[in-house]
Structure 1
Amino acid sequence: MLYAHVWIVVESGVSMESQALLSAPLSLLQRRMWHLCTAYPGTASPIVVIANRITEPLDVPAFTAAVDALADRHDALRTTFAIDADGPRQVIAPPGGLDTEHADVSAHADPEASARALVAELAGALLDLDGGTLVRSLLIRLGPDDHVWCLAVHHLLADGESAMVLQRDLAALYRGTPLPEPPIGYAAFAAEQCAAGDGGADLRWWAEHLRGVPPLDLPTDLPRPPVKTTRAEQVDLRVDAAAADALDAFARAHRTTPFMALLTALLAVLARRSGQRDFCVGTPVSGRLLEETEEAVGLFSNMIALRADLSGDPDPAELLARVRAEVIAGLARQAVPFGQVVAAVAPPEDRSRTQLFQVIFSLHTQTAGGAPGLRWAPFGQAAPQILHDLVLDAWRGPQGLDLTLRYDTGLFTAGTAAAIVGEVADLVRAMPGAAGRSMFGVRHG
């Protein structure tokens, strides 16, 4: 049995039979997220947001009952945190549903704008980690057959894969489609991860591989404050389908993936701007390495630090080969929680920067939005708060490659952010035809 060492205790004075609150340790992944949430003060919390527009007749009582059932199915939606002498711990409430707030903007001059404002407010909330509400459900009525449902969950309790699970399960519960037995609860996963040991040879590899890596010191438009802030905005750019297809073909020809090719372009831009040839970029991994976690809700996603080697004067193929080797080595050891890696590397204390890497890159492969049985579509909302200096997200679709760069407004202006993402796009277009040329010779514009 995988989860044999579950440490879940009933709060004092109440029996298990009475459906009391349960207490569990934070997972190692949650400990790292807790550090990020408390070490770098911000005006909002890192939140996983589902916002979908439902354009069909909606049985509102049945829908809110489905939301209740969703919370009863997944203990992460019933979790808060308590802090005692030993630090934070999870507190899981018994099944009891989840209140859905209701708002009717159908009589407003611009119902869609009003709905977007409400979703943005929910997504940008600063939540109370010490026993406060960390999950909110909001149903907005724009018209007779037009609603927006928004679920905001603190990132300590959910990740991107969790959002996909929640959408599928809600659609099934609303339509009355049978679901399998509930997946393993997150509290059980947390207890097992804490008992799993120290990471062994993989942790030792990370500690040696990342030892001495310098922080990425990009030129900034504003002085770096002594304590990192989380203020952010974003810029968006699309690379057309022809250029994206050419990059995909270039990656296949070199036995790599589009992720590796895009990361190569980003590393070259960061190296040109910083003058550095050695630094790290972070990338998230799903962390769902066990079958028992595939349909669970919780913070399973991990981070790995990919160390760039831009020494010499590599051409695109050479740098891509280095990136390929680094990504393969990192993914082979992705099970080690990033917090353990940071502790093992022990970088110098610097509250003005996040540890080990200051830039994150993600290529998203999931399709956002609805699920079978419910006619809904994503209701776009921007929640650009970030804990790092830059976060580059990429989405590959039939129209091409969409790039979104979120940037710390305490460091960079909109013009600089637009220039950075523009340089990445230029390299995406140039790399397939730049064999034998230096990665630092392809200039922006």
Structure 2
Amino acid sequence: MQVVPRRATPAATAPLSLLQRRMWHLCTAYPGTASPIVAIANRITEPLDVPAFTAAVAALADRHDALRTTFAVDADGPRQVIAPPGGLETEVVDVSGEPDPAARAQDMVAELAGALLDLDGGTLVRSRLIRLGPDDHVWCLAVHHLLADGESAMVLQRDIAALYRGVPLPEPPIGYADFAAWQCAGGGDDAELRWWAERLRGVPPLELPTDLPRPPVKSTRGGQLDVRLDAPDAQALERFARQMRATPFMVLVTALLTVLARRSGQTDLCVGTPVSGRLLEETEDAVGLFSNMIALRADLSDEPSLGELLTRVRAVTIDALARQAVPFGQVVAAVNPAEDRSRTPVFQVIVSLHTQTSGGTAADLDWRPFGQATAQILHDLVLDAWRGPDGLSLTLRYDTGLFTADTAAALAGEVVALLRAMPDDAELPVLPVAARHG
């Protein structure tokens, strides 16, 4: 069994992990007006001991070395620089006297979540506590995506609640610097890397019609819109997935691929999906960039029906998940696609399905999520879906340098229409007759 060793003394510097190397490339090859940021924003509606809470935030940074990390760039490239424990300052702001405190807090959260952070030695973690009124606060923690992922956000929320309440926490088995050093020293699985290289060799770029000319260097400004599938339709979709020995995620991918095929006319399509990457026990309670990407390349030739395409997507997904440990940056290097700064390599669309979780009362801390805007998109399109008791909520983020809001709304509407139709008409052709024979 693989084990990540913890260093005998805390690390002052570390190489970038293989996952960070890819993210660094994305952040520097496609410069934008904002940084990819993992943001926690929660509204706390209970009496709050502000000094105790800010002390808990400081202790959170002492606990997780990723929150004390910056980057330095020298002749050998970027490296992680880990500061010694010394806490993290929380900016405390009182907006209770403003005409609309909640709106003002929303703007302040969006400002943190949409900041452009300096990767060369700059501060990459910011904490802000906003007072809306008596027993009403919003806490926002913004962390550069190089230092954290979605699973990290859940670890941080759990830990801050425990630290505030004084609940004892065991020492994390490893710090992210330990993981990065271990991963860079490992040899990897050459057979699995060769499988990916063969699987993705010659993958074509997505030629989706755009409203605006594709610029020579991809922009990163994004818009987003929300649509939903109500509970009866979502339940029918889940029953259909079970009947097809598939998962709702596979059905979602099938619907998205169908829309992309109909709009582009292509039958060789590739989309990406994130995976947690926490395959080792030591990483479960750590904060850092562990999430990986896998590519799902689908063959839509031979005029498949929706049901037939779902069967193909199922097989592709199972094969890809079995090899998810290979860092996607290594996959890209092995595939070696032609240099094209107007697109992200291998795939230009991302899709993911999440299980919706309520705000809850972590360690009896009464808080709920406080919405935020997503300011940056590194790919052309990103489709996120959340399963909850009220149905399936979908958010489509899109590159505003390529698509208008009307086009994005039409595209999202087509996905939802297919998700509604598929359980009752799996024999519907993926490509209409005109597209197949025109």
Q: Tell me which interval the TM-score lies in, with the shorter structure as reference length.
A: over 0.9
How far apart are residue 47 of structure 1 and its match?
0.1
Q: Which residue of 1 aligns with 2:322?
A: 332
Is the CA contact 1:384–1:406 (under 8 Å) kept in the aligned structure 2?
no
Is the CA contact 2:6–2:174 (under 8 Å) kept in the aligned structure 1?
no
How far apart are residue 321 of structure 1 and its match?
0.7
How far apart are residue 369 of structure 1 and its match?
3.3
**d(CA) in 2 for partners of 1:5, 1:55:** 38
Q: Which residue of 2 aligns with 1:92?
A: 82
Q: Which residue of 2 aligns with 1:421?
A: 412
**d(CA) in 1 for partners of 2:140, 2:414:** 35
Residue 233 (structure 2) pairs with residue 243 (structure 1): yes
Q: Any unmatched runs of 5+ in structure 2?
A: none
TM-superposition CA deviations, 1:92-146 (whole Å, max 9, x none) = 0111100000111000000000000000011110000000000000000000110
Q: AA paired with 2:343? A: R
How far apart are residue 328 of structure 1 and its match?
0.4
Q: Which residue of 1 aligns with 2:3?
A: 2
Residue 304 (structure 2) pairs with residue 314 (structure 1): yes
Q: Which residue of 1 aligns with 2:370?
A: 379
Q: Which residue of 1 aligns with 2:421?
A: 430
Residue of 141, 147, 165 corresponding to 1:157: 147
Q: Secondary structure at the match of 2:296?
A: strand
Residue 402 (structure 2) pairs with residue 411 (structure 1): yes
How far apart are residue 3 of structure 1 and its match?
2.6
**d(CA) in 2 for partners of 1:254, 1:403:** 22
Is the CA contact 1:50–1:152 (under 8 Å) kept in the aligned structure 2?
yes
Residue 285 (structure 2) pairs with residue 295 (structure 1): yes
**d(CA) in 2 for partners of 1:113, 1:5:** 44
Q: Secondary structure at the match of 2:245?
A: coil
Residue of 367, 390, 398 corresponding to 2:389: 398
Q: Secondary structure at the match of 1:239?
A: strand
Residue of 153, 157, 182 corresponding to 1:192: 182
Q: Secondary structure at the match of 1:433?
A: coil
How far apart are residue 196 of structure 1 and its match?
1.2
**d(CA) in 2 for partners of 1:269, 1:27:** 36
**d(CA) in 1 for partners of 2:6, 2:161:** 33
Q: Which residue of 2 aligns with 1:12?
A: none
Q: Secondary structure at the match of 2:142?
A: strand
How far apart are residue 45 of structure 1 and its match?
0.2
Residue 92 (structure 2) pairs with residue 102 (structure 1): yes
Is the CA contact 1:214–1:279 (under 8 Å) kept in the aligned structure 2?
yes
Q: Secondary structure at the match of 2:261?
A: helix
Q: Secondary structure at the match of 1:314?
A: coil
Residue 52 (structure 2) pairs with residue 65 (structure 1): no
How far apart are residue 368 of structure 1 and its match?
5.5
Q: AA paired with 2:405? A: A
TM-superposition CA deviations, 1:275-323 (whole Å, max 9, x none) = 0010210000000000100010000000011001111111122111100
Q: Which moved more, 1:219-228 or 1:371-380?
A: 371-380
TM-superposition CA deviations, 1:340-367 (whole Å, max 9, x none) = 0000000000000000000000101252
Q: Secondary structure at the match of 1:372?
A: helix
Is the CA contact 1:427–1:442 (under 8 Å) kept in the aligned structure 2?
no
Q: Secondary structure at the match of 1:130?
A: coil
Q: Which residue of 2 aligns with 1:271?
A: 261
Q: Secondary structure at the match of 2:153?
A: helix
TM-superposition CA deviations, 1:178-204 (whole Å, max 9, x none) = 111223100010011111114310000
**d(CA) in 1 for partners of 2:359, 2:117:** 25
RMSD: 1.5
Q: AA paired with 1:399? A: D
Q: Which residue of 2 aligns with 1:173?
A: 163
Residue 362 (structure 2) pairs with residue 362 (structure 1): no
TM-superposition CA deviations, 1:217-239 (whole Å, max 9, x none) = 10000000000010110011011
Is the CA contact 1:138–1:151 (under 8 Å) kept in the aligned structure 2?
yes
**d(CA) in 2 for partners of 1:128, 1:366:** 33
Q: Given the two structures, how large is their TM-score scaled by the length of structure 1?
A: 0.95
**d(CA) in 1 for partners of 2:54, 2:356:** 26
Q: Which residue of 2 aligns with 1:11?
A: none
Q: Which moved more, 1:303-312 or 1:50-59?
A: 303-312
Percent identity among equivalent residues?
A: 78
Is the CA contact 1:262–1:428 (under 8 Å) kept in the aligned structure 2?
yes
**d(CA) in 2 for partners of 1:257, 1:3:** 32
Q: Which residue of 1 aligns with 2:217?
A: 227
Q: AA paired with 2:335? A: V
Q: AA paired with 2:397? A: R
Query: Which runs of 4 or more aligned residues in structure 1 lie more than 4 Å from their structure 2 counterparts after TM superposition?
Result: none
Aligned length: 432
Is the CA contact 2:354–2:385 (under 8 Å) kept in the aligned structure 1?
yes
